[in-house]
């Protein structure tokens, strides 16, 4: 680079600094480092470990966790707020009654001071493994913001990490966690097993998410390595439940990024009893292992981290990841590309990013999803800011995707733009709930009936409505005779049914065994007066309805939960009772059963049902003339009481949306909300 060019760059840095009102002193350092890296390629990858010549201007990241009973959580919260703010630390601090989980960044001297203050403040942190590493300051504001490194977030949470997607179920005792192995012990165990036959009983178990394992994992030729391939950690326990026999009797070596996920996961495995005692975990996680073995040892690739560094590798780290589209060697998540359907991070090389803006992760591909398989609709509220966007309702033949930011800062729906990456999404994922209508209804009418509910829940949930598979005929009743006091009677004049072209088709999940299969081609005269207990005889057609729902989940999923009303609640109850058998085809975390009832079917003979459930029905004086209070109570009694909630109301055969009922509904759903 010539002298003139150098001074031009230097002047540009100074102009940028003085023309913007930066509030932090390190902004000039950040700009200067960017300039140095553009001049000297050798500075592109600064060291990730502590050095002896550190200065007060060096930047670093501190990670630590500690499971310990906190006697006074509010006092600890006050300490963290005061200490971290005074030291200008940025990042995430999570506190609970059973410990802390912290990832913060700042000047090295400030991070070291934070550690000293912690130790001086309380002996709770004796023995804590403080992982402190030097690194570059955040160079990409978008990545830093997504990772939480542009602000300080201190929150009290129920759990430091959420092992189960069923938050109402009790977590395992952390005191029962697997024994810690140092990096050297962990390495030696793998080394000795690797020299044995492939039939040895050692199993390496990765406790991380799929996108993390795609850029690095442990590998030894004669040691079996299990990758659960889960989207999120809360799916891990279900994977363990499905493969318990595969792990029983094995010596299990678990690992994760820094160790905290293995604490809870190993305790969960050991809680299964005999045959699951030999569970061990890598102390300090992959990070400590790479410090002990800078060349990577048995770890191949890079270690994904949840801060602005994105990934950290050993001195000889190879690229083990590949582009989702073209399969070329690639392991850079800095573009933050995400799956169009489930929003999981995906690897897309720069060339493929320029050609496409919509991606489908490998898990969604296995479920048969593909770009272009669904109609995309624009957001009616396109003029609202993206932060806190309120998504509209949509029925089963459409799919809505969040809006994206264009390069000029304006917003538009995905189909109208060609983006270079999808990292511009700034949303907290809402719960996707599949809604099943009642007997002789349809998706459109049920959407209308639940419009008030959808409006009250629009910040936390989006509803998907689908028609049942069985079309039923249009029925009309003959006029009912009116009796006078003197015993005489007469019939009101019959009014003709409305024209067929103005009537929408009606559907059902279950039919009467003697149903003749006629559909809604024309109006049909009822065989007799309305029977309020007809739902008890409608038990046929389950297999077709189940197959229909499997297709819905495959084509329109994933869904977090299922909401059913009346007969739709009966169908929802059956699939929740069969949840274990339906895994992989119909997956959900919870059910909401409104004015529900239980059908006398063999599929319901598995009480108690373990699926978290919310039961909403009229009380004894609730004026629900369709489904009696006692019938809905009997359905609720089939569910495990430790993970079910009952809301009784006085509003009739509807889903109530006024307080206090809507508050109880929000409280139940709020437990399942998860940020991406």
* Catalytically annotated residues: 256
Q: Write the DSSP string, 286-312.
A: HHHHHHH-TT-TTEEEEEE-SSTT-EE
Q: Which helix (H) or strand (E) holds 472?
A: strand 470-472
* 3 state DSSP class of 428: coil
Measured CA to CA, the distance from residue 419 to residue 487 in angstroms comes to 78
Q: Which residues contact 417 (CB under 8 A, 6 or more apart)?
A: 357, 404, 406
How many of the other CB atoms lie within 10 Å of CB of 528? Answer: 8
Measured CA to CA, the distance from residue 421 to residue 322 in angstroms comes to 17
Say which residue the tokens 């689908």 belong to. Answer: 466
Task: Single out the residue of 165, 156, 137, 184 nearest to residue 26, CA to CA.
Answer: 137
Measured CA to CA, the distance from residue 401 to residue 306 in angstroms comes to 25
Per the CB < 8 A criterion, the answer to whether 579 and 423 are in contact is no
Q: Which helix (H) or strand (E) holds 102?
A: strand 99-107
Q: Which residues contact 471 (CB under 8 A, 6 or more apart)?
A: 505, 506, 507, 519, 520
Measured CA to CA, the distance from residue 672 to residue 676 in angstroms comes to 13
Measured CA to CA, the distance from residue 655 to residue 114 in angstroms comes to 51
Task: Single out the residue of 148, 320, 142 nearest to residue 219, CA to CA.
Answer: 320
Say which residue the tokens 């139940």 belong to. Answer: 668
Task: Single out the residue of 270, 150, 148, 140 nearest to residue 205, CA to CA.
Answer: 270
Token code pair at residue 430:
């809402």
* 3 state DSSP class of 463: strand
Say which residue the tokens 């109208």 belong to. Answer: 416
Q: Which residues contact 572 (CB under 8 A, 6 or more apart)?
A: 436, 562, 563, 564, 591, 592, 593, 596
Burial-class residue 296 by CB neighbours within 10 Å (0-12, 13-18, 19+): buried
Token code pair at residue 542:
């389950």
Measured CA to CA, the distance from residue 30 to residue 23 in angstroms comes to 13
Say which residue the tokens 């398989």 belong to. Answer: 373
Backbone angles phi, psi at 446, to 5 degrees: -70, -35
Q: Across 316-412, where does the E strand assignment appear?
A: 376-377, 394-395, 399-400, 404-405, 411-412
Q: Across 321-395, where does the E strand assignment appear?
A: 376-377, 394-395
Task: Single out the residue of 105, 238, 57, 180 nearest to residue 612, CA to CA.
Answer: 238
List 618's β-bridge partners, or say none: 649
Token code pair at residue 120:
């001086």
Measured CA to CA, the distance from residue 546 to residue 574 in angstroms comes to 9
């Amino acid at each position: 680079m010539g002298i003139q060019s150098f001074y031009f760059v230097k002047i540009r840095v100074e102009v940028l600094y003085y023309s913007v009102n930066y509030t932090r002193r390190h902004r000039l350092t950040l700009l200067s480092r960017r300039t140095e890296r553009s001049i000297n390629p050798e500075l592109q990858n600064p060291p990730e470990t502590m050095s002896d010549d550190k200065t007060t201007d060096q930047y670093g990241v501190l990670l630590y966790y500690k499971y310990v009973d906190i006697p006074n959580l509010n006092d600890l919260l006050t300490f963290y707020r005061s200490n971290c703010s005074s030291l200008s630390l940025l990042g995430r601090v999570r506190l609970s009654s059973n410990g802390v989980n912290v990832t913060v960044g700042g000047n090295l001297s400030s991070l070291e001071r934070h550690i000293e203050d912690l130790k001086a403040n309380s002996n709770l942190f004796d023995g804590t493994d403080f992982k402190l590493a030097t690194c570059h300051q955040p160079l990409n504001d978008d990545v830093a913001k997504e990772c939480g490194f542009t602000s300080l977030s201190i929150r009290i949470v129920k759990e430091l990490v959420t092992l189960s997607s069923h938050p109402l179920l009790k977590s395992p005792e952390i005191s029962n966690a697997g024994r810690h192995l140092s990096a050297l012990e962990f390495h030696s165990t793998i080394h000795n097993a690797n020299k044995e036959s492939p039939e040895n009983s050692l199993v390496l178990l990765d406790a991380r998410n799929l996108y993390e394992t795609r850029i690095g994992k442990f590998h030894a030729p004669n040691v079996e390595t299990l990758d659960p391939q889960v989207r999120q950690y809360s799916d891990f326990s279900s994977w363990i439940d499905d493969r318990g026999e595969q792990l029983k009797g094995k010596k299990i070596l678990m690992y994760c990024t820094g160790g905290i996920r293995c604490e809870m996961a190993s305790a969960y495995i050991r809680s299964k009893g005999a045959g699951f005692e030999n569970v061990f975990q890598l102390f300090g996680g992959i990070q400590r292992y790479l410090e002990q073995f800078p060349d990577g040892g048995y770890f191949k690739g890079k270690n994904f981290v949840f801060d602005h560094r994105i990934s950290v590798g050993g001195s000889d780290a190879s690229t083990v990841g590949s582009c989702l589209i073209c399969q070329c060697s690639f392991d850079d998540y800095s573009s933050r590309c995400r799956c169009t359907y489930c929003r999981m991070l995906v690897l897309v090389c720069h060339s493929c990013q320029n050609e496409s803006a919509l991606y489908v992760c490998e898990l969604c591909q296995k479920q048969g999803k593909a770009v272009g398989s669904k109609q995309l609709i624009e957001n009616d509220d396109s003029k609202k800011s993206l932060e806190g966007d309120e998504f509209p309702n949509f029925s089963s033949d459409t799919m809505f995707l969040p809006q994206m930011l264009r390069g000029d800062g304006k917003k538009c729906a995905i189909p109208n733009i060609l983006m270079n990456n999808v990292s511009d999404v700034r949303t907290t994922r809402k719960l996707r709930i599949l809604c099943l209508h009642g007997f002789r209804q349809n998706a459109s009418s049920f959407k209308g009936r639940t419009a008030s509910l959808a409006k009250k829940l629009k910040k936390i949930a989006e509803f998907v409505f689908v028609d049942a598979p069985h079309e039923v005929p249009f029925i009309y009743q003959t006029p009912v005779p009116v009796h006078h006091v003197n015993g005489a009677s007469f019939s009101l004049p019959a009014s003709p049914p409305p024209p067929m072209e103005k009537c929408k088709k009606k559907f059902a999940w279950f039919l009467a065994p003697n149903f003749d299969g006629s559909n809604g081609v024309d109006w049909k005269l009822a065989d007799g007066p309305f029977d309020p207990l007809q739902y008890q005889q409608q038990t046929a057609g389950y297999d077709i309805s189940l197959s229909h729902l499997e297709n819905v989940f495959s084509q329109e999923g994933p869904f977090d939960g299922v909401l059913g009303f009346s007969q739709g609640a009966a169908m929802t109850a059956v699939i929740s009772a069969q949840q274990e058998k339906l895994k992989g085809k119909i997956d959900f975390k919870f059910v909401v059963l409104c004015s529900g009832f239980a059908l006398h079917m063999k599929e319901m003979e598995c009480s108690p049902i373990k699926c978290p459930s919310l039961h909403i029905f009229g009380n004894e004086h609730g004026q629900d003339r369709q489904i009696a209070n006692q019938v809905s109570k009997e359905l609720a009694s089939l569910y495990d009481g430790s993970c079910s909630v009952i809301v009784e109301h006085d509003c009739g055969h509807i889903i109530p949306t006024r307080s206090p009922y809507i508050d109880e509904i929000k409280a139940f759903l709020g437990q399942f909300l998860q940020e991406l």
